[in-house]
Structure 1
Amino acid sequence: MTAFTIRPATRADVPAITSIYEHAVLHGTATYELTPPDEAEMANRFEATIGQGYPYIVAEGSDGTVVGYAYANAFRTRPAYRWSVEDSIYLAPEAKGQGIGRALLTRLVEVATESGFRQMVAVIGGSDHAPSIKLHERAGFRMIGIFEKSGFKFGRWIDTVLMQLPLGEGGDSLPDEAAYPGTLYRR
């Protein structure tokens, strides 16, 4: 697969998103969930994310199949963090290594910046997760820390890698609260 399109996610994409995430939960350390959530739970999470004004996008193959998705969500729920988001990117196994993750992250950064967010944080499961770390480095993220042995999955301890990317003016100016009042979370 080489041809794909990045577009906003819709409720109709939730079954494919659920399937992609299930594989990530069962076979990877990108998430520290141990049991894959069902489609109803994924639909609730999707609605909560977009309902609060956070970007949620998918990569769609030329045949119309969703092969990856990405979204930004609250980095932390305290109001002082309202200008910072955490990114999440998941790909179907067959979509890896084709530039889809890079395209999703690039577009996610653009949409989050357009939405007025000022910082994006990547929380990566595993200091040995080289593809995700390289993906974020190539997008301009810088390493800000490692929580050593902070997760336990697949019978082993896993580090949590933190990376950060300023969006727009980042912390060089004050945010315009009036320009981006948009969501319940951000008010």
Structure 2
Amino acid sequence: MLEEEYQQRRRLPRHLQPAPEPEPAFDYALRDARPADLPYIQEIYNHYVANSTVTFDEQPWTLASLKKKFAHLQKLGYPFLVAESPRGQILGFAYVYPWKEKAAYRYTVENSIYLAPAATGRGLGRALLGTLLERAEEAGVREVVAVIADQGAEGSMRLHESFGFTQTGSMGKVGFKFERWLGIVLMQKSLRPRRR
């Protein structure tokens, strides 16, 4: 065995080991989504359609359907946010959408937050949800509903609880995806709208 191989295999005492390389900073800016962001938003969402039960969608979003949803939210004045890295990569998105289309529900929305897989676990969901709630309040929203899968979305439930959402109901076995039955948990938060 060569001396240098021996040196590489030998463990140094902890106090002599080199310090680990610091992780690069996780930087991002939150901003309003733009039409040019939609293909990246579509890619993030479709990852969850294909690989998880956090969405009950089984068919990927098409760009045409996403453009229609985006235009509808702009018309309503509802927030649709993205998190963008310093290099211009979309790391996640969040928006609110009318809870139901009937007129009496006009002050109630459902929120959605999705992060690129590499951006999870870094506080980005918290930043998006906090800003989304502020912006929804500014848009005149009174009630925000979160519809969360009852399996595999425990982090989402904890995040919503930390913002004051309370569980208002649950429904079992209302979805069937990946050959298994799934339920949902309903959570709700009241806002103090500034207009309307």
TM-score of the pair, normalised by structure 1: 0.87
Q: Does 1:109 align with 2:133?
A: yes
For residues 61 and 152 of structure 2, the distance between their equivalents in structure 1, rounded to whole angstroms, comes to: 25
What's the counterpart of residue 17 of structure 1? 41
Q: Which has the higher helix share?
A: 2
User: Which stretch shifts more, 33-42 or 87-96?
Assistant: 33-42
SS across alignment from 2:26: coil
Separation in 1, partners of 2:91, 2:75: 23
Bigger Rg, which one = 2
CA offset digits 1:36-68 (Å, max 9, x no partner): 022222122211222222110001112111110
Task: Name stretches of at least 5 consecutive residues in structure 2 with no aligned partner.
Answer: 1-24
- Indicate yes or no: 2:167 matched with 1:143: yes
Q: What is the distance in 1 between the residues matched to 2:75 and 2:54?
A: 24
SS at match of 2:127: helix
1:15 & 1:128 partners in 2: Cα distance? 26
Distance in 2 (CA, whole Å) between partners of 1:24 and 1:53 is: 27
Structure 1 unmatched runs, 5+: 170-175, 181-187
Is 1:40 aligned with 2:64? yes
Within 5 Å, give how 1:43-62 maps onto structure 2.
Answer: 43-62=67-86
1:157 is matched with which residue?
Answer: 181
**1:120 to partner: Cα distance:** 0.4
CA distance in 2, matches of 1:3, 1:107: 16
Higher relative contact order at CA 8 Å, sep ≥6: structure 1 or structure 2? 1
Does the 8 Å CA contact 2:33/2:81 hold for their aligned counterparts?
yes
**Alignment partner for residue 119 of structure 1, among 143, 147, 165?**
143
Q: Determine whether 1:28 maps to 2:52.
A: yes
Q: Does residue 76 of structure 1 match 2:100?
A: yes
Task: Please give the secondary structure, in 2, of the residue aligned with 1:149.
Answer: strand
When normalised by structure 2's length, the TM-score is 0.84
- Pick from 104, 129, 139 the counterpart of residue 153 of structure 2: 129
Counterparts of 1:38 and 1:127 in 2: how far apart (Å)?
26
* Aligned residues of 1:127 and 1:161 also touching (Cα < 8 A): no
* CA-CA distance at 1:126 after TM superposition: 2.3
SS at 1:113 equivalent: helix
- For residues 121-174 of structure 1, the C-alpha deviation after alignment (integer angstroms, 9 at most, x for no partner) is 0011224411110110111101111111111111111111100000017xxxxx
**8 Å CA contact retained: 1:145, 1:162:** yes
Question: Aligned pair count?
Answer: 172
The 4+ residue runs of structure 1 with deviation greater than 2 A are: none
Amino acid at match of 1:83: Y
